[in-house]
Amino acid sequence: MSLKRHIPNAVTLLNLFSGCIALIFAVYGNFVTAAIFVFLGIFFDFFDGFLARKLNVQSPLGIQLDSLADLITSGVVPGVIMFKLISLTIDAPDYSTYNDNWNTVMHWQGFKLSILPLIGLLIPLASAYRLAKFNLDEDQQAFFKGLPVPANTLLILSLPLILEYQNNDLINSIIINKWFLIGLTLISCYLLNSPIKLFALKFKDWSFKSNATRYIFLILSIVAFVVLHFAAIPLIIVLYIILSLLDRNNIT
């Protein structure tokens, strides 16, 4: 029995392994290290599909395994990070004394859980639904319907990275605002499962004419990241959606 058919699945499991490590760091509030392992997982997520195509060993098992790995790395981890970020925005650090119309605290034998940050866990739910739809939709080969789960993950992960490295008081004040975070969570959940068609970064050939949108997106994204660093990531996601809408007649 040939072992080459197991190679892509092994790489997929590396994605899952990276996601599990990222989840541990996210739970403990180490967002930077969590982001590193998520980026590593996303790399494995790209590489497993590339290997499967090159080795011609695509299989239904690989498709399902890929989605299960993505659910952890690009679904649960950003959800936990959003939960932690919203928790940081709650005015009173002592949950036992904090109570208003929007947020209450549940107690279980000394364990205190604030309700409002649980909104962040909508991200894993929306990601799971999006991944399940993707597995059943045979149309999404050259394009996506809704924001891809890894792209949404990059959007969420950019927030703690901006806070850590950008050192911009205005941007920080926007991010550390519970209503901004809640709004972004709801918007991201909608984008994940929206009917919007978005181009995929898959090149059938290398000509500029047939890949103009992809080349423009890559060039502008690189320039934005060089100039704005992690603050460019949300703008890149917006650019991705805008270019897709402008080029929707060519997305097939």
* Confidence tier at 251 by pLDDT (50, 70, 90): low
Using a pLDDT cut of 70, give the percent of the chain over it: 88
User: Number of folded domains in the chain?
Assistant: 1
Residues 77 and 153: beta-carbon distance below 8 Å: yes
Residues 105 and 96: beta-carbon distance below 8 Å: yes
Q: Considering the domain boundaries, does residue 186 fall inside one?
A: yes
Q: Considering the domain boundaries, does residue 127 fall inside one?
A: yes
- pLDDT for residue 98: 40
Tokens 């403990």: give the residue: 28
Q: Considering the domain boundaries, does residue 244 fall inside one?
A: no
Instruction: Enumerate the H helices of 99-195 as residue ranges.
Output: 122-136, 149-165, 169-175, 178-192
- pLDDT for residue 31: 96
- pLDDT for residue 221: 97
Q: Considering the domain boundaries, does residue 221 fall inside one?
A: no
Plot region of 251 (φ>0 → left; ψ -120 to 50 → alpha; else → beta)? beta
Mean pLDDT computed over every residue of the chain: 87
* pLDDT one-digit tens code per residue, 212-231: 899 999 999 999 999 999 99
Q: Considering the domain boundaries, does residue 118 fall inside one?
A: yes
* Confidence tier at 49 by pLDDT (50, 70, 90): confident
Q: Which residue has the higher pLDDT, 235 or 206?
A: 235
Q: Considering the domain boundaries, does residue 12 fall inside one?
A: yes
Q: Considering the domain boundaries, does residue 210 fall inside one?
A: no
Domain region containing 72: 4-91+114-199
Model confidence, pTM: 0.88
- pLDDT for residue 191: 97
- pLDDT for residue 54: 77
> What CATH code is carried by the domain that includes residue 60?
1.20.120.1760
Question: Residue 92 pLDDT > 60, yes or no?
Answer: no
Question: Residue 2 pLDDT > 50, yes or no?
Answer: yes
Taking the C-alpha atoms of residue 143 and residue 130, their distance in angstroms, rounded to an integer, is: 14
Question: Residue 30 pLDDT > 60, yes or no?
Answer: yes
* pLDDT one-digit tens code per residue, 105-123: 666 666 677 889 999 999 9
- pLDDT for residue 237: 97
* Confidence tier at 104 by pLDDT (50, 70, 90): low
Phi and psi, residue 198, nearest 5°: -120, 140
Q: Considering the domain boundaries, does residue 222 fall inside one?
A: no
* pLDDT one-digit tens code per residue, 50-88: 787 777 777 888 889 999 999 999 999 999 999 999 999
Q: Which residue has the higher pLDDT, 6 or 27?
A: 27
